[in-house]
Structures are given as structure tokens and as C-alpha cells.
Amino acid sequence: VKQPVLHQVIVGTAPGDAITAQAFAIRSWLHELGFHSEIFAKYIHQALESEVRPFVTYRPARAESFLIFHHSIGSSLVEEVAQLPLPLILVYHNITPAEFFADVDPVWKQRMLLGRQQLQRLQASTHLGLADSFYNEEELRASGYQETGVLPIVVEESEYNLPNNEGLVARYRDGGPNLLFVGKVAPHKKQEDLIKLLYYYRRIQPGARLLLVGDKWLPGYDEWLADLIANLGLQQSVVLTGRVSQQDMVTYYRIADLYVSMSEHEGFGKPLIESMYLGLPILAYASAAVPLTVGQTGLLFHQKNFEVLAELVDIVMCDPGLRARIIERQRQRVQMYLASEVRQTFLSYLAQLSLVEK
């Protein structure tokens, strides 16, 4: 009996990246099912060189009947994948709207525009379009995809059940309330608005601190944030960590008191479900997929009035009953994103494609 083959292709891989983590989860499920499955990428972070193969080495095998392609950005790789003689299972992770880069970085703007065009082009070679959220599924349907489904971003529990980095705990668990946001430092994630919120919140709680966990990404934005922090006199209260290890990231979730998101575009928002899993209440701007990911658990807001939001943050901080109820609702909701649940969903799609028995 020939071993079934189902490979995945992804533009870029990096440790801590939600799409990369999803590809690894899918690969491990496929291995459990007896498939030969590898991940091919155009850009491979050096830490993953032993795990991911360069796309230039990929050749479709006879035993392959489908290829999984993760789409999230414009790239010449997409054109190559679209020309392969294999139907695709497209996993759509959303593309940040180009307008966030129109006035700041032409190359990124171009990549996002190209990504949207390529989403249309990929339709012809796609057999099944899977989105990682209902929000993204809507976009697939709006782009003309007929056969679609939802395969959520997954929480692999073993990656979060790690011990704390005690050095971080000693440094930041000092009583001053800690606000946390996790995500790359980018204009659409709106870290600047969190800094503005902190300015107001420190008028209520002078010891408050903002922990911004995430890789630096767009140099101009980093500089602008640094200027804003200096102008507001918040140098001692804003911590920009840069890229951190999984253990440090988990520790930051644990030493934080509230997860706050001002992000204006999230295709899914993995840190939201990480917060849910690690018992951190969420207060988030209701943009893009955020309301669908959070559901009726945390607190959402639809306008950015920093003065009002600072009071709301303080109310949530000072009401243990409300916090406990939010955390409990979040704990219930996160069950649907745990690996065991998502694996079943993935299996049902494989069965739909006759890749496994129903």
C-alpha cells in the first residue's frame, strides 16, 4: 500500500508565527494519520531550517492528489503554486488591507495588493478553501470561492504549559498593573493607541505599565513609537520586548493583568485565544475578526476614546467578580480552539476530500 502524501506550502516561516504554528500542527496530524507530509517555504527562518524545506526543492509526487497552500501575502511563490498540476486546499489567513501601508511603505503596500489579486487567481486551482475564521471565510466567498470551510487557528496546549521565566516575574510582578499586547509592531496593530491609553490610565494608576510583546517589523513605525513614548514621558512604563521565546511569551501573559488590543486588522487574532487559555481577561477594539474570535466573552469597544477607555480599564481591574466571570467565559470559549477539537474539524475536511475514510 502506497503511503498517502499531502504536503504544505507557505511563503515564509518563522518561530512564533501563527501561520507557521498552524502548518506544524497540520503536519503532526497528517503524520499521525500515516501521511508523508512536509512543509515547503520560500523564506525559512534559520531556526527552522531543519524543519522546513525550501520550495525550490519541491516536485509533485505521483501519490499526491492535493497540495495545502497557506495564503496570507502577495508573492511570486503564489504564481508558481498556481501553475502546479495539483488541486489546492487553500488555507486563507487573511491579507492586511494595503491602505495601512499606503502612506508609509510602498513595498508592503504592493505585497498586500498583490496578495488580494492572487487570492482571486488562486480560485481556479483551489478545490477547497479553508479560512481560519468565519470572517476570513466571508472574504473567500466574496472572492468567488464556492467550496469553503473554517479551520481555526489552534492552541497546542503543550506549548503553553511551560514554567515561568522567573527573571521576568521578578522584574515586572511588582504591583503596578500590567497591560499586555502581543503582536508584531506594525501600523495596523496600533501599538501607538495602547501608548495613548496608557498615558490616560497612568493618571488613574501611576504605577501602570504596558508590555508590548512582538517582533519589530517596520523601522519607521518603531522610531515613531519611540518618539511618542519619549514625548509622553513614558520611557519607564512601556516595555518593547522584541521577539521573545515561547517561555517568555507565556510568562508575559501570566504577569499581565489585562490583555488590551487596539488592533485595526486581525484575520483571526491568535493572542486573543492565548489570553483566553492563560486566564487573562480581554479588552479589545472590535475590528475585523476580533468580535468573532472573542465571541461573547471579553469586553469589546467600537470607538477609541482613550480617556473613557482608561476608566473602563480601571473598572475591570478593580472588579474581581467581573474579571472572574470574563476569565471563566473565556476558558469555556477557548475549548473550541484546542488542538483536539481543531484536529477533528481537519479530519472531517480530509474525509470530504476522500483523503481519509469517513
Helix (H, G, I), strand (E, B) or coil at 68: strand
Q: 221 and 142 in contact (C-beta within 8 Å)? A: no
Instruction: Return d(Cα 314, Cα 319) in angstroms, integer.
Output: 9
Separate counts of helices (H) and strands (E) for the chain: 13, 13
Q: Is 302 or 358 the residue whose CB approaches another protein more closely?
A: 302
Q: 235 and 259 in contact (C-beta within 8 Å)? A: no
Which grid cell is 77?
511563490
Q: Is 286 or 347 the residue whose CB approaches another protein more closely?
A: 286
Q: How many CB atoms lie within 10 A of CB 1?
A: 4
CB of 146 to another protein, least distance (A): 30
CB of 345 to another protein, least distance (A): 25
- Of 10, 11, 14, the closest CA to residue 26 belongs to 10
CB of 239 to another protein, least distance (A): 19
Judging by DSSP bridges, how do beta strands 238-242 and 148-150 pair with one another?
A: unpaired
CB of 269 to another protein, least distance (A): 16
Which grid cell is 118?
492572487
- One-letter identity of residue 14: A
Q: Is 127 or 329 the residue whose CB approaches another protein more closely?
A: 329
CB of 103 to another protein, least distance (A): 5
Q: Is 61 or 324 the residue whose CB approaches another protein more closely?
A: 324
Q: 289 and 136 in contact (C-beta within 8 Å)? A: yes
CA distances from 28 to 44, 129, 342, 349 (A): 19, 21, 13, 16
* Residue where the block lists cell 526543492: 57
Greatest Cα pair distance, the chain, in angstroms, is 69
Q: Is 174 or 307 the residue whose CB approaches another protein more closely?
A: 307
Q: Is 200 or 268 the residue whose CB approaches another protein more closely?
A: 200
Helix (H, G, I), strand (E, B) or coil at 106: helix
CB of 140 to another protein, least distance (A): 25
Q: Is 196 or 254 the residue whose CB approaches another protein more closely?
A: 196
Q: Is 81 or 342 the residue whose CB approaches another protein more closely?
A: 81
CB of 229 to another protein, least distance (A): 12
CB of 126 to another protein, least distance (A): 24
Instruction: Return d(Cα 82, Cα 101) in angstroms, integer.
Output: 26
Q: 116 and 161 in contact (C-beta within 8 Å)? A: no
Binding site for another protein (CB under 8 A): 56, 76, 102-107, 110, 114, 187, 192, 196, 199-200, 203-204, 219-221, 224-225, 228, 232, 286, 291, 296-297, 299-303, 305-308, 311-312, 314-315, 319, 321-322, 325-326, 329
